[in-house]
Structure 1
Amino acid sequence: MASGSNNQPHNVSYDALPVHTDDHGNPGYYHPQPSTDDFQNSGYNTPQHELDAVPLTSGVPAGAAQPRFLGAAAYDSAGFRNSLASSNYTHPGSEYGNSVYALDPTGGYRDDPNASYEHGAIPMSPKEGGRFLTDKNAVYAAPKAKSKRRVLVLGVIAGIILLIAAIAVPVYIFVIKPHSTNNRTSSSSASSSSASSPTSTSKPGKTNLVTGGDGSKITLDNGTTITYANKFGGYWYYDENDPFNNNARAQSWSPALNETFKYGIDQIRGVNLGGWLVTEPFVYVVTPALYQKYSTASPQAVDEWTLCQAMRADTAGGGINQLEDHYKTFITEEDFAEIAGAGLNFVRIPIGYWAIETRDTEQFLPKTSWTYFLKAIKWARKYGIRINLDLHALPGSQNGWNHSGRLGTIGFMNGPMGYVNVQRSLDYIRVIAEFISQPEYKDVVTIFGIINEPQGPTFGKDNLSRFYLEAYRIIRQAGGTGEGNGPYVSIHDGFFPRSDWVDIFPNADRMSIDTHPYLAFNEQSASPLSSFVQTPCTSWGNLVNTSMGAFGLTTAGEWSLAVNDCGLFLNNVGAGTRYEGTYTPGTFPKMGSCTPYTDWQNFDADMKSNFKKLALSTMDALQNYFFWTWKIGPSLESGKVETPAWSYQLGLQNGWMPTNPQDAVGACGNTSPFAPPLKSWQTGGAGVGIPDSVSNALAWPPTSISAAGAVATLPAYTATGPIPTLPAPTFSAKNVNAGNGWNNAKDNTGFNVPIPGCTYLDPWVDPGTAPPAACAGAANRRAPQPTITPPPSL
């Protein structure tokens, strides 16, 4: 089938927002409308997701997918958007900040007197007295009157005893007393009810503290020292002799890593680390030097593929190693400390499949980003933060957008190489699942997003469902079933209404659904920022409540504070904005100047207040969320951040993001909230699984592939190749078991590789290309065992 066309229906509902119009239908004013199930037949604007839904213009790659989140129905002439990505920032005392109570993970230090004290936490002491003084008074009775000499003698003796105690007690607590070590078979258990006592490592003439709360000193990986700022009762924990210890807690209200995170009860408050391990033109603003340096290169750097091409050609300027320099500097350990101190307990980390391998002429830098994901695991563990690993880019591209690695056509489950690209993708999902299901990592990487924003309408909901079920089976085979055995499997709605996914996978063990609601890419409105403050409540809140009850865990994997598309290169390198009427593909009416939304240094108190209110209402409406994104770097031209509504950190530093995300509770005045808990099988309840009838109905592989035809006539790989397992980190301490990268030794099917003698096209070929002649293929050989990859040094 020719690129740029398909047979999918138009007007796919996707949690669209109300059109902002006046009484005559002109854009500009907000009129709330009653919430319906995903706004079907409600008159709300909905985006288009078909290749022919939005007219394309010259300069756009042939067959390129239309922009996501563009409500084409709003204007007669809609334009092409090369994709947005996502972005954001952060910054953060108490009476017991440096006491043993603050350092005692068994109780869980708290400094919020208004918080409930679940997880066995210790409440604050009375206002007038310190806990140490109270405890001491309870132990030591008041002395009776004695003679002066006797008192003096006893005082000297007591002083000597106290001096000895002052030396002996800390030595006992921090050096001699053994602490609970998380071993490979039982330590890191998410079901542990309490953490082991904090301790320290001992070196000649030196004692190093391995845990601490607000105000404690932390030595970072790079050797520098910071003061930990966490006003929410969180404490860090890292012992180089016990690097897989999961004692750390992000906040008093978040379970420590060695405690069970009760999904549906404990709230996910997270941010994305966008633009770090997967770059995109929006990262042009996140890390300007990456793309800005090559904005005039030939070909122009518009995605990670072309960026890598430009870097490889620029050997004098540092070559492809510049990308690793970005990995080293853009996100560091200090960011994780700040994220915990901001009251957040999760990070969503996008990675590309090239973290595992590349093939043939693929331009991406292979394997390197995995080393930095291992660092992320280490840092997250240290600060009690959990990770949602998001597989953001797959072979052939799952959506044609630049954040999938290569802007252009959709070659995943679409076109002549669509099937082999899915075979590769399932292998990569398997390799990741085997690694993160190991006991050393499963309590930190607790959610696995198996594909980011797949263009479901392109390859059909039935085929997407089959892919989801096969990926789910692979992940459960790697980690097992039941709570704590492998990660939650997160599926994206594929740009179908969430209600369409209810009961597709009945009794699935820990499966969640992800949506990415944005305000910025619907109709542009000249209405004031204040008019948007309650929009998330009226548009999303009820839908989330319904989905939590009907499907299960529902997350918003991306959202921002942007109410329009203002921002340097937010739409693409060199593109303008719809809001100012300068977006080059298509014609858009000018709504106003972007300056009031981008000149954050001059935001007045009212602007900051409305942004904060919007943040609170969005957090409350979405319930379990990941803001896009944590941090954005300044533009090389202006020297300042040009997309402030996308930066959590910048908002914290300048007063328009809430310093305590708990303040969002009740912001929407929810009258019919989801009533926890989730159904038992949604949280890993034993004895339940997807019925065989469903598994058979959605068996893999599908019979046909969109834009290509019957799978039996298409190129296919054979599962006879060696498995490139992901390497584990190394540590300075001896006898540390970091795992071998493969949790289930019985999972030994080979990797999918080309069949000798068969003809294959480029994995990134235009989907309209005719497939090669069918190949009978070679007989399957005995699959080899996984090849363990040597670990990188951290």
Structure 2
Amino acid sequence: MKLSVLSLLAITTAVSAWLPHERNLFGEQPNSVASYLPAGRGRAVKRFTSGYNKIRGVNLGSLFIIEPWMASQEWDSMGCGGTKSEFDCMIKLGQDAGDAAFQKHWGSYIGEQDLDTIKAYGLNTIRVPVGYWMVEDTVWRDSEHFPKGGLAYLDQLVGWAADRNIYVILDLHGAPAAQEPNQPFTGQYAPTAGFFVSWQYDRAYKFLQAMTQRIHTNSAYRTTGMLEVLNEPERNHPDLITSYYATAYAKIRETESQLNVAQGQQLTIQFMDKGWGAGNPVDVIGSKPSVAYDDHRYLKWDTSIEHTKASYIKTSCSDTFGDGGNTPLIVGEWSLSVKDDLERTPDFDPSVQSNKAFYTQWWAAQVSAYEKQLGWVFWSWKTQLGDDWRWSYKQAVEAGIVPKDPNQAAQLAKC
């Protein structure tokens, strides 16, 4: 049985965690009804658009883990210029000054107006990348340097989302000791990926269990339904699947059992899919309930295709997902960016008027493909890349590249 949004929000004794279509969270949004079909005796049944109850969202990149490449002005204004990651900036600034700088950033980079605009642009989901240091007692204070106080700002953000019926995916983007080398998205520009040992896994489990507890006991998280156990791990670590993924699932469910959470209210636990190349989670998760998968689709780094406009459109139109039993699946990151050495060539330069129709069609082709599964989350909501809107959904809408109504994708894709 599906609950109405009003009925859902009336539940105050327990915080529900689920896939949104299982609670009809999004409901009948503007333009979600395609037509009314006659059913005899003056009755009619509704036929919904193909995007009805699909996840359509944006990542809030560089909010809780700042990536200098995409937020350089913010980075410099905080006093972090010349450093590669949050870890490095905290060493430069010191704990007290660093805490103040990051708390100012958390309190201003994304506000309630952003959530209103996200809704106005036909979106219903935010994916929030966070680091393990959000749970502060997981940090080794004698050797690790991260800002404090982020959890209060996360509480505020998810509360704003809940007030607007926006679904929230929390993503462990930065793991202990880093799951990828030389990547600021881990929060530390580490020369090697040190995550893949048991004692680092233990710290990640502690983070996951603390966040599970908070989601189920803090009403601000009432539309937070998904917890991703790890973003973009380095490949070729077999025990990522056999040890970390299997135990992460068990630890989250253990916490929910201790809280007496009913199965219908359990978190959906998300894993990077087989296509990422770090193993197939199904090998250990099997058919366990309340699981979803995450595929990141950036054609700019796909070496198997031609990097032409025609090839990008053709590839996106024919894309399929869910290999290896990885369903339901969300394409949790994608963009409109093209191969690095082509970005400012005449064929792809976003400032060239004649290229804009291509980017609109390519956006639509990607949306159409990703909605064959559960939906999509664009990377990212906002950036500081000047006139290049290819990584910013907000700027792409403002530039007239992306329509305010995502339901137009099917028509615009021309697949």
Aligned: 1:543 with 2:330: no
Q: 2:368 aligns with which of 604, 612, 620?
A: 620
Shift of 1:646: 0.3
8 A contact 2:230–2:271 mirrored in 1: yes
Higher strand share: 2
- After superposition, residues 680-699 of structure 1 pair within 5 angstroms as none
Against the structure 1 CA distance between its residues 523 and 189, is the aligned structure 2 distance closer, same or farther, given a 3 Å change threshold? closer
Q: List gaps (5 residues or longer) in structure 1.
A: 1-117, 122-178, 196-245, 255-263, 566-578, 580-590, 635-640, 671-794
Corresponding position of 1:305: 87
Go from structure 1 to structure 2 and tell me whether the alpha carbon gap of 1:595 and 1:294 turns closer, same or farther (over 3 Å shift). farther
- Relative to structure 1, the CA distance from residue 524 to residue 307 in structure 2 (aligned partners, 3 Å threshold; closer, same or farther) is farther
Give the whole-Å Cα distance in 1 for the aligned partners of 2:130 and 2:20: 30
Q: Distance in 2 between matches of 1:613 and 1:180?
A: 37
Question: For the Cα contact (< 8 Å) 1:621–1:668, is it kept in 2?
Answer: no
Alignment pair present for 1:473 and 2:256:
no
Q: Which amino acid aligns with 1:471?
A: A
CA deviation vs aligned residue, 1:122-145 (integer Å, no higher than 9, x gap): xxxxxxxxxxxxxxxxxxxxxxxx
Structure 2 CA distance for partners of 1:543 and 1:188, relative to 1, 3 Å: closer
Distance 1:310 1:249, change over 3 A: farther
Equivalent in the alignment of 1:533: 313
Partner amino acid, structure 2, of 1:375? Q
Return the match for 2:265 from 485, 491, 498. Answer: 485
Identity %: 23
Counterpart residue number, 2:66: 279
1:664 shift after superposition: 2.2
Provide closer, same or farther for how the CA distance between residues 453 and 290 of structure 1 changes in structure 2, counting only shifts above 3 A. farther
Q: Which string of whole-angstrom CA distances, capped at 9 and with x for unpartnered residues, describes residues 59-113 of structure 1?
A: xxxxxxxxxxxxxxxxxxxxxxxxxxxxxxxxxxxxxxxxxxxxxxxxxxxxxxx
Q: Deviations over 1:390-410 (max 9, x none)?
A: 011111111122211112211
CA change 1:344–1:286 in 2 (3 A) is farther
Aligned partner of 2:389 in structure 1 is 644
Counterparts of 1:384-403 in structure 2, within 5 Å, are 384-400=165-181, 401-403=183-185
- Structure 1 distance, partners of 2:277, 2:343, is 32
How far apart in 2 are the matches of 1:253 and 1:443? 26
Paired position in structure 1 for 2:10: 182
Which position in structure 2 is the counterpart of 1:654?
399
Residues 299 and 338, structure 2, Cα contact 8 Å, conserved in 1? yes
Structure 1 counterpart of 2:352, from 578, 584, 603:
603
The alignment's TM-score, normalised by the length of structure 2, stands at: 0.80
Structure 1: how far apart are the matches of 2:363 and 2:154?
28
Larger Rg, first or second structure (1 or 2) = 1
Distance 1:474 1:279, change over 3 A: same
- 8 A contact 2:226–2:268 mirrored in 1: yes
188 and 439 in structure 1: CA distance in 2 versus 1, 3 angstrom threshold: farther
Amino acid of the residue matched to residue 399 of structure 1? E
1:440-519 maps to which residues of 2 (within 5 A)?
440-441=219-220, 443-457=222-236, 459-460=237-238, 462-480=239-257, 484-493=264-273, 496-497=276-277, 500-502=280-282, 504-519=284-299
Conservation of the 8 A alpha-carbon contact between 1:286 and 1:632: no
Aligned CA distance change for structure 1 residues 448 and 191 (closer, same or farther; 3 Å) = closer
Please tell me whether the aligned partners of residues 346 and 387 of structure 1 are also in contact (alpha carbons under 8 angstroms): yes
* Alpha-carbon distance in 1 for matches of 2:208, 2:326: 23
Q: Could you say what the CA RMSD is over the residues aligned between the two structures, in angstroms?
A: 3.6
2-structure distance, mates of 1:370, 1:310: 23
1:632-667 Cα shifts (integer Å, max 9, x gaps): 135xxxxxx254210100000011112211222476
Q: Distance in 2 between the 1:189 and 1:399 partners?
A: 29
Identify the structure with the greater helix proportion: 2
Answer whether contact 1:249 1:384 (CA < 8 A) is retained: no
User: Residue 48 of structure 2 aligns with which residue?
Assistant: none
2:90–2:147 contact (8 Å) kept in structure 1 = yes
- Per the TM alignment, residue 386 of structure 1 is displaced from its structure 2 partner at its CA by 0.6
Tell me if the contact between 2:336 and 2:362 (Cα under 8 Å) persists in the aligned partners: yes
Deviation at residue 465 of structure 1 after TM alignment: 3.2
CA contact (8 A) 1:534 1:614 kept: no
Q: Aligned match of 2:164 in 383, 386, 389?
A: 383
Cα 1:666/1:490, change in 2 over 3 Å: farther
1:267 lines up with 2:54 in the alignment: yes
1:354 counterpart letter in structure 2: W
**Relative to 1, partners in 2 of residues 1:431 and 1:393: Cα closer, same or farther, differing over 3 Å?**
same
Change (3 A) 1:525 1:288: farther
Letter paired with 1:456: R
SS in 1 for 2:212: helix
Alpha-carbon shift at residue 369 of structure 1 (Å):
1.5
Deviation at 1:362, TM superposition (A): 1.1
Say if 1:385 and 1:444, in contact at 8 Å, map to a contact too.
Answer: yes
1:172-571 aligned at under 5 Å gives the runs 182=10, 184-185=12-13, 251-252=29-30, 266-285=53-72, 287-290=74-77, 293-295=79-81, 300-312=82-94, 319-357=98-136, 358-359=139-140, 360-366=142-148, 368-400=149-181, 401-407=183-189, 408-413=191-196, 418-438=197-217, 440-441=219-220, 443-457=222-236, 459-460=237-238, 462-480=239-257, 484-493=264-273, 496-497=276-277, 500-502=280-282, 504-523=284-303, 528-538=308-318, 540=319, 542-544=320-322, 550-565=325-340
User: Counterparts of 1:361 and 1:412 in 2: how far apart (Å)?
Assistant: 15
Q: Residue 397 and residue 453 in structure 1: after superposition, are their counterparts in 2 closer, same or farther (change >3 A)?
A: same
**Gaps in structure 2 of 5+ consecutive residues:** 33-50
Q: Give distance in 1, aligned partners of 2:18 and 2:228.
A: 20
For residues 177-204 of structure 1, what are the alpha-carbon distances to aligned partners after superposition, in whole Å with 9 as ceiling and x for unaligned?
Answer: xx998354268697999x9xxxxxxxxx
Equivalent residue letter for 1:334: Q
In 2, the alpha carbon distance for the partners of 1:382 and 1:628 equals 23
Q: 1:29 aligns to what? A: none
Per the alignment, do residues 372 and 485 of structure 1 end up closer, same or farther by CA in structure 2, a change over 3 Å counting?
same
Tell me the number of residue pairs that the alignment of Structure 1 and Structure 2 aligns. Answer: 383
Provide, for residues 433-482 of structure 1, a one-character-per-residue CA deviation record: whole Å limited to 9, x for no partner: 1111237255411110111111131x22x442321111111111222476
- Choose the corresponding residue for 2:381, options 627, 630, 651: 630
The one-letter amino acid of 2:409's match is A
* Offset, 1:332: 0.4
Inter-partner Cα distance in structure 2 for 1:563 and 1:607: 12
- Quote the residue 1:35 is aligned against: none
Contact 1:490 1:514 in 2 (8 A): yes
How far does residue 551 in structure 1 lie from its aligned partner after superposition?
3.0
Q: 1:285 to 1:522 in 2, by over 3 A?
A: farther
Contact 1:442-1:485 at 8 Å conserved across structures: no
The residue identity in structure 2 corresponding to 1:385 is I
1-structure distance, mates of 2:100, 2:58:
27
Cα pair 1:529 1:607 within 8 Å, conserved: no
Distance 1:504 1:247, change over 3 A: closer
Q: Distance in 1 between matches of 2:120 and 2:329?
A: 25
SS of the counterpart of 1:644? Answer: coil
Identify if the C-alpha distance between structure 1 residues 495 and 282 changes in structure 2 by more than 3 Å, giving closer, same or farther.
Answer: farther
